[in-house]
């Protein structure tokens, strides 16, 4: 499926004048009765209770109970959905006290042209554990490890449940909404403590985790327009003037006050 092209002219101005607190509305949900997915729903509902079912962005979504998810996933595999393309979670602990788990299945069979994508959803409390799907879908081996690493969700009977992105001794789970955007104290001092030890905290200082930070006096990591400055040396107060040989198309650069253009020339 090719993503629809959007006009990208003057994107910076659109972002600047857009509402920062705009809440994107939910995607429309349609009934799957009368669509090719109705056959899949009939198969599943005959053996398992389906709490909700609807069609969203050409994908059938089925809400099931946590205890039935492994059985429903195995049923989908027997029906022809042999690929688990994605599995993750959403943190709703603050609002509802639970995680929202979703499993995305795809079928590439020729006779599944109008019903290729199915998504299973269920809820999971913070102190609950989830049964693994790794014995049914090999891709769940990494997806469940990522969910454990980022959210702290424990999957029972997983053959090797450990962190996959963060170090093994990392403290916290970064994709939880309670985790600070710039990291906590353990994140700020992780590399210093790991490489040099805690006794070097005052010597080295905390790790800089702000990607938007600019230090005008730092000539090692930043350059300053209008200054001819050697890397790593102290910043000089007097800017140097760039000089070039006169050319037919290049004008001399100068240090006069810049002129702000009100409109395009």
Residue length of the chain: 265
Residue 150 has pLDDT above 80, yes or no: yes
pLDDT band at 98 (very low <50, low <70, confident <90, very high): very high
Q: Spell out the residues 6+ positions from residue 262 whose beta carbon is closer than 8 angstroms to its own.
A: none
Percent of the chain with pLDDT over 90: 54
Per-residue model confidence (pLDDT) at position 140 = 96
Position with higher pLDDT, 7 vs 27:
27
pTM equals: 0.73
pLDDT, average across residues 40-63: 95
The side-by-side arrangement of strands in the sheet containing 59-63 is 52-56, 59-63, 117-125, 98-106, 83-92
| Cα 243 from Cα 253, distance rounded (Å) | 7
Confidence of residue 225 (pLDDT cuts 50, 70, 90): low
For 144-169, b where at least 16 C-beta lie within 10 A, e where not — what string?
bbbbbbbbebbbeebeebeebeeeee
Give the chain's domains with CATH numbers: 26-165 (3.30.460.80), 180-235 (no CATH)
Give me Rg for the CA atoms of the chain. Answer: 27
Query: What value does the mean pLDDT take over residues 173-191?
Result: 86
């Amino acid at each position: 499926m090719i993503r629809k092209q959007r006009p990208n002219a003057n994107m910076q101005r659109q972002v600047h004048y857009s509402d920062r607190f705009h809440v994107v509305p939910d995607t429309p949900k349609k009934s799957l009765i009368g669509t090719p997915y109705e056959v899949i729903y009939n198969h599943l509902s005959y053996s398992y209770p389906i709490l909700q079912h609807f069609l969203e962005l050409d994908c059938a979504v089925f809400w099931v109970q946590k205890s039935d998810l492994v059985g429903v996933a195995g049923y989908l595999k027997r029906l022809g959905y042999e690929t688990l393309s994605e599995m993750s979670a959403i943190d709703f602990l603050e609002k509802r006290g639970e995680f929202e788990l979703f499993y995305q299945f795809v079928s590439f069979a020729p006779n599944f042209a109008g019903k290729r994508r199915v998504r299973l959803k269920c809820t999971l409390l913070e102190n609950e554990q989830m049964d693994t799907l790794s014995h049914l879908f090999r891709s769940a081996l990494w997806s469940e490890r990522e969910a454990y690493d980022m959210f702290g969700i424990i999957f029972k009977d997983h053959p090797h449940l450990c962190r996959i992105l963060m170090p093994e001794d990392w403290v916290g789970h970064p994709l939880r909404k309670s985790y600070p955007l710039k990291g906590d104290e353990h994140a700020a001092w992780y590399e210093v403590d790991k490489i040099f030890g805690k006794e070097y905290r005052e010597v080295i200082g905390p790790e800089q985790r702000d990607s938007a930070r600019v230090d005008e006096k730092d000539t090692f990591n930043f350059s300053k327009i209008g200054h001819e400055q050697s890397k790593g040396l102290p910043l000089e107060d007097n800017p140097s003037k760039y000089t070039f040989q006169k050319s037919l198309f290049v004008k001399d650069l100068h240090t006069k006050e810049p002129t702000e253009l009100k409109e395009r020339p």
